[in-house]
Amino acid sequence: MALLHIVNRSPFEHNALPDCLRLAKRGSGILLIEDATLAASVAGEWAGRLTAAMVEHPLYVLLEDFRARGFADEQLISGATAVDDAGFVALVCEYDASLSWR
Partner 1 sequence: MAEERKSLLILCRRAPGGSAQPRELLDIALSAAAFDCAPQLLFADDGVCQLLPGQPFAGLIEALPVYGIERIFVDAQALARRGIDPARLLLPATPLAAEQIADLLEAQQLLLGG
Binding site for partner 1 (CB under 8 A): 2-3, 15-16, 19, 22-26, 28, 96-102
Nearest distance, CB of residue 49 and partner 1, angstroms? 15
Among 77, 69, 18, CA closest to 47: 77
Among 22, 21, 23, CA closest to 31: 21
Question: Based on CB atoms, which residue is closest to partner 1, 23 or 84?
Answer: 23
Nearest distance, CB of residue 68 and partner 1, angstroms? 23
Question: Based on CB atoms, which residue is closest to partner 1, 4 or 38?
Answer: 4
Strands of the sheet containing 29-32, edge to edge, are 81-83, 59-62, 29-32, 3-7, 97-101
Nearest distance, CB of residue 23 and partner 1, angstroms? 5
Bridge partners for 31 per DSSP: 6, 60
Residue 40 DSSP one-character state: G
Question: Based on CB atoms, which residue is closest to partner 1, 24 or 91?
Answer: 24
